[in-house]
């Protein structure tokens, strides 16, 4: 079941900025800082006010947001690859991280050289190059876009999808 206590905040330009609590969204709405774009049929009521529960809000003025850098971490690589082995396509309970070009052959710790792999495929590949053992990747790894953390948000409401550009190829810059 979805946790509907979070709201997607968009910049004036409709660019996703962050996820905020319903409380924060209501405060911004009452202070006339945002417009509600997507809302529930349910409402929050007080003695003098009735406000629809928002799913997506948009700032009324442009807010400069520094470009975000997504950290190259084990968890982010597994999220990017959806916990799926990039060699055989299985979704094991325990995923390892593999260097496509092994470190001892000049491979770097980078978004395009690291993939999720099951233990069996990782052990089979070892420190060899893919062409040496006739293995192939299911998809070419790439650095995720700045929207990655919002697109992979596990409690995302379906009304967020159009604002997060969730179409084929939208995950990467």
Q: Between 3 and 5, whose confidence is greater?
A: 5
Is residue 59 domain-shared with residue 20, that is, in the same domain? yes
Asked, for residue 139, whether it belongs to a domain, the answer is no
Instruction: Calculate the average pLDDT of the chain.
Output: 90
Q: Do the Cβ atoms of 173 and 20 come closer than 8 Å?
A: no
Q: Domain limits at 31?
A: 6-67+146-164
Q: Between 153 and 161, whose confidence is greater?
A: 161
Q: Which pTM was predicted? A: 0.72
At residue 126, φ and ψ (nearest 5 deg) are 55, -135
Is residue 16 domain-shared with residue 35, that is, in the same domain? yes
∠ CA 60-156-92, nearest 5°, is 150
Indicate the number of domains in the chain: 2
Is residue 126 domain-shared with residue 152, that is, in the same domain? no
Is residue 125 domain-shared with residue 150, that is, in the same domain? no
Q: Between 146 and 37, whose confidence is greater?
A: 37
1 pLDDT more than 80: no
Estimate the share of the chain in helix, then strand, then coil, as percent rounded to the nearest 5.
25, 25, 50
Is residue 83 domain-shared with residue 61, that is, in the same domain? no
Is residue 51 domain-shared with residue 84, that is, in the same domain? no
Asked, for residue 95, whether it belongs to a domain, the answer is yes
């Amino acid at each position: 079941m979805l946790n509907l206590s979070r709201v997607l905040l968009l910049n004036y330009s409709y660019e996703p900025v962050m996820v905020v609590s319903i409380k924060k969204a209501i405060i911004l709405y009452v202070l006339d800082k945002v417009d509600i774009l997507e809302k529930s049929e349910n409402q929050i009521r007080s003695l003098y006010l009735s406000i629809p529960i928002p799913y997506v809000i948009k700032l009324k003025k442009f807010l400069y947001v520094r470009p975000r850098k997504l950290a190259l971490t084990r968890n982010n690589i597994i999220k990017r690859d959806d916990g799926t082995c990039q060699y055989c396509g299985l979704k094991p309970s325990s995923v390892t991280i593999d260097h496509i070009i092994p470190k001892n052959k000049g491979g770097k710790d980078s978004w395009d050289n690291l993939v999720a792999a099951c233990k069996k495929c990782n052990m089979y590949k070892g420190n060899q190059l893919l062409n040496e053992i006739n293995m192939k990747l299911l998809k070419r790894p790439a650095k995720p876009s700045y929207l990655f953390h919002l697109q992979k948000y596990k409690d995302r409401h379906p009304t967020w999808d159009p604002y997060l550009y969730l179409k084929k190829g939208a995950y990467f810059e």
